[in-house]
Chain A
Amino acid sequence: MSLTTIDDAGRLETVRLGMWAFLASELMFFGPLLLGWAYGRISMPDGFAWASRQTDLWLGTLNTAILLSSSAAMALAVQLSALQLKRQVGRCLLACAALGVVFLLIKFYEWHREWAEHLFPGPDFAGPAHTGAPYFFVVYFSATFLHAIHLTIGIGVTLTMWRRVHKSLGPLPQPALHAAGLYWHFVDVVWVALFPMLYLVERTP
């Protein structure tokens, strides 16, 4: 039985509203990072431009494409759940989680390279220290690390949903699927904002 009773529909709306309230607070959580970036971009444009050119544009672009694709898979899972297509929903959830894992692996590789190139802010910083470049990398590492934590939680939630869908004998847990979907899309939206902020600042000097 899909959403045919008022109770089910009401429950779905309540879960969606609750999730949006949580996401609104999450936005406030990421807000100071946006603010820190905007401050640096305005006050230290040269350092930010130089530092942004040190990031790997192609890995960043690939990761953005991967995360956008994972969001599409999650949207498919949530929307197909209304039709009770259990097998397809399960596959979409698995694809979504797998793409999330690939994103994290690429991100770890990027961090490793940046660490080896002495781009982590500190006494060994390899760039022009006085221009604000180290400050850019403070924002870069904080933002990408915070995003990676959220993505890791998202992968855990998605795999939990996959398990629930896989094992369920009755109707699919639509409110929970919607909540998991909203969280995943939020993590994607944060990356969509971070990508131009971190990778695309004055690529052509």
Chain B
Amino acid sequence: MTERSAVGIVRNVAKVWLALLGLLALTVGTALLPLGLWNTVLNTVIALIKVVLIGLCFMELLRHDSLPRLMAVVALFFLLIQLGQTISEHLTRGISTTPWTPPAQRAPLQHGGVDAATPSRRAYPAPGH
């Protein structure tokens, strides 16, 4: 880590802080415009830029020690697997479905839960009998 002056540190942090507040104003401003799907796209992109700014400038992911960087990337990767696989399964449910077939008609249940269609199944006595 290079030795820096206090003024330099304050100036750098202030720049990032102002950029973050600017991005916040931008995301709220665009959210008030009727842009349809673009609202979601812009919100996501701006949030990602804010996360990257905080990660690089405040969490010091650009320091010379590279293992935390690897840890952050791996964590995001596993989160994306978690989200991606579940959502892709949900979104593709309607693409290839098995045609619906009605269940086989069964006779009504007799007393004691014995199914008339399967007489070989033994009915267990009710508790207390």
Is the CB–CB distance between A23 and B24 below 8 Å?
Answer: no
B residues whose Cβ falls under 8 Å from a Cβ of A: 1, 3-6, 9-10, 13-14, 16-17, 20-21, 24, 27-28, 31-34, 39-40, 43-44, 46-47, 50-51, 54-55, 57-60, 63, 65, 67-68, 71-72, 74-76, 78-79, 82-83, 86-87, 90-91
Is the CB–CB distance between B24 and A65 below 8 Å?
Answer: yes
Q: Can you spell out 19 A-B residue pairs with CB atoms less than 8 angstroms apart?
A: A16-B68, A19-B68, A23-B71, A27-B75, A28-B82, A35-B82, A35-B83, A42-B91, A65-B21, A68-B17, A72-B13, A74-B58, A75-B57, A80-B9, A83-B3, A181-B58, A185-B55, A200-B31, A200-B43
Q: A109 contacts the other chain (Cβ, under 8 Å)?
A: no
Majority secondary structure of chain A interface residues (helix, strand, loop or mixed): helix
User: Cβ of B90: which chain A residues have Cβ within 8 Å of it?
Assistant: 39, 42-43
A77 to chain B, nearest CB (A): 10
Residue of B nearest to A68 (CB): B20
Bound CA span A76–B15, Å: 12
Number of interface residues of A (CB under 8 A): 53
Q: A204 contacts the other chain (Cβ, under 8 Å)?
A: yes
Is the CB–CB distance between B24 and A75 below 8 Å?
Answer: no
Bound CA span A72–B59, Å: 11
Q: A72-B13, A72-B14, A75-B58 are in contact. Are A35 and B86 (CB under 8 A)?
A: yes
Bound CA span A203–B27, Å: 12
User: Cβ of B24: which chain A residues have Cβ within 8 Å of it?
Assistant: 61, 64-65, 68
Please choose the segment from A114-122, A131-139, A152-160, A189-197 that sits at the chain B interface, where 4 or more of its residues have CB less than 8 A away: A189-197
Is the CB–CB distance between B83 and A28 below 8 Å?
Answer: no
Query: Which of chain A's residues 29-83 have a Cβ closer than 8 Å to chain B?
Result: 31-32, 34-35, 38-39, 42-43, 57, 61, 64-65, 68-69, 71-72, 74-76, 78-80, 82-83
